[in-house]
Chains A and B, each alone.
Chain A
């Protein structure tokens, strides 16, 4: 009943955002002491800045789509991914996601440098919500994909940055998620591994996974994505075929 049905042929969107807004409520000045807080609270002087990171965003993303999100810094791109990944709860509107969302974690997030590669694979898998038996049964293939067979029982602190990144990528993408969320991490590792990574993303796409990616590399968005959304100031400026949206965006930047 709860087994993922990755390639369900229904044409309901995998991801549906309806009028989603996210408001960060941050004290105007960073008050970090109790004393200050108490004094201001008594005076009724605690002012909050309400920062709208997302403002009325509505999007439908179809199964099997590779969807790019572009826009300037601070446009709300990462916030959007966080809302999809459940890390942030929308302050308004509604988010619906069918299926398991797996983010491609950034370098070393969730890794413990003191532990061995093997131990870290199991922790990272569990963080991604995978079951221990599943990880164990896929362990060998995963290690081979990362190309780390002879290092897997050494502490992670002895790895190079690229090796850590490869291990992280392999764990994150080992089990096909319905939705893969990628926040500018496709540029890690050496050229050979980047090629492998791109191939795996393509493999996901072919297997019917939905991929949402944030990228500043507009060429990559044109190349990889079917559709794209251009965010600016927390609002959707344009949605449509990736090339058109990218061109429209480039016109305003240039």
Chain B
């Protein structure tokens, strides 16, 4: 019976949260759609901003760095735009989820709903932006004569793994943000630093050899390459690289899920 609640038989949050997220999937869709609507509601160009934003960022970086990386990277705008699409998705999904959880706190105190829903609203919103950002990417590729490789089939897999990883990080930082007020600031500083030590806008070979180990360990770099290689180079990363990236994605998701659901019952009075 769907409408029978017995606290003695309520499943552990780590399982129950999954079931409830599925039961509330129409709410999830609705909240994702609405988060897209509200974001640009008052602006003249509306949703088109999702297309302009990465283009503007890309243009600035291309003007600034094209000449420096000309030797290393042909058609630099394609390289940097593909990288930025991934990076922006990761940052937006994780920071946005901290904010939506706070937005939802008024509701969480009064009515039951799966508490992870706010994290997945942020990730879903990011995924739609990512898909929209593929349009300017394709346009730039066509304009610059960059070939459309067969390896593109792998892009959805890469996006899935990236989304899984981002969800894990988002769950972790969101629950931390509830309990520790300075999480938001620390996270922003960390992300800022990570941007410069991740080869988003520069070729990875320019990092000194003695930091190569760090690149190996950097999960964002791993997942980003999974996305960018098929588009930019036309080939998949080797199997080991794919497996490592997948391990990061699943590992982060499980860790985030575990941490979030472990504390989920305290949310209603700690938010």
Once bound together, how far apart are the Cα atoms of A56 and B253, in whole Å?
A: 38
Are A89 and B265 CB-contacts (below 8 A) given A94-B8, A97-B5, A109-B107? yes
Query: What mask results when residues 1 to 30 of chain B are scored 1 for a CB within 8 Å of chain A, else 0?
Result: 111111110100000000000001011001
Chain A min CB distance to B253 (Å) = 23
Are A110 and B34 CB-contacts (below 8 A) given A32-B181, A33-B182, A88-B269? no
Chain A min CB distance to B146 (Å) = 39
Once bound together, how far apart are the Cα atoms of A123 and B111, in whole Å?
A: 14
Query: What mask results when residues 76 to 114 of chain A are scored 1 for a CB within 8 Å of chain B, else 0?
Result: 000000110111111001111111110101100110101
For A24, A85, A114, A126, the residue with the greatest tally of chain B CB atoms inside 10 Å of its CB is A126
Q: Are B2 and A2 in contact (CB under 8 A)?
A: yes
Q: Are B180 and A90 in contact (CB under 8 A)?
A: no
Q: Are B3 and A123 in contact (CB under 8 A)?
A: no
Q: Are B34 and A85 in contact (CB under 8 A)?
A: no
Cβ of A119: which chain B residues have Cβ within 8 Å of it?
Answer: 34, 37
Are A112 and B34 CB-contacts (below 8 A) given A32-B182, A87-B112, A89-B10? yes
Chain A min CB distance to B37 (Å) = 7
Q: Are A24 and B1 in contact (CB under 8 A)?
A: no
Chain A min CB distance to B191 (Å) = 16
Q: Are A103 and B10 in contact (CB under 8 A)?
A: no
Chain B min CB distance to A198 (Å) = 21
Question: Which residue of A has the minimal Cβ distance to B115?
Answer: A87
Q: Are A115 and B37 in contact (CB under 8 A)?
A: yes
Q: Are B181 and A2 in contact (CB under 8 A)?
A: no
Are A126 and B26 CB-contacts (below 8 A) given A87-B268, A97-B4, A100-B3? yes
Q: Are B1 and A109 in contact (CB under 8 A)?
A: no
Cβ of A103: which chain B residues have Cβ within 8 Å of it?
Answer: 110-111
Is A138 close to B, CB under 8 A?
Answer: no
Residues of B in contact with A, size category: 35 or more
Query: What mask results when residues 32 to 64 of chain B are scored 1 for a CB within 8 Å of chain A, else 0?
Result: 001001100110000000000000000000000
Contact of B182 among A34, A96, A114, A129 (CB under 8 A): A34
Is A216 close to B, CB under 8 A?
Answer: no
Interface residue count on the A side (C-beta < 8 Å): 47
For B30, B42, B269, the residue with the greatest tally of chain A CB atoms inside 10 Å of its CB is B269
Once bound together, how far apart are the Cα atoms of A83 and B265, in whole Å?
A: 11
Q: Are B4 and A98 in contact (CB under 8 A)?
A: yes
Contact of A114 among B10, B38, B108, B110 (CB under 8 A): B38
Is B266 close to A, CB under 8 A?
Answer: yes
Is A122 close to B, CB under 8 A?
Answer: yes
Once bound together, how far apart are the Cα atoms of A89 and B269, in whole Å?
A: 11
Once bound together, how far apart are the Cα atoms of A86 and B6, in whole Å?
A: 10
Cβ of A131: which chain B residues have Cβ within 8 Å of it?
Answer: 26
Are A95 and B111 CB-contacts (below 8 A) given A32-B181, A123-B34? no
Chosen A-B contacts, 19 in total, with CB atoms closer than 8 Å, are: A4-B3, A33-B180, A34-B186, A82-B268, A86-B5, A88-B265, A94-B6, A101-B112, A103-B110, A109-B110, A110-B106, A114-B42, A115-B34, A119-B34, A126-B27, A127-B27, A132-B26, A155-B41, A183-B110
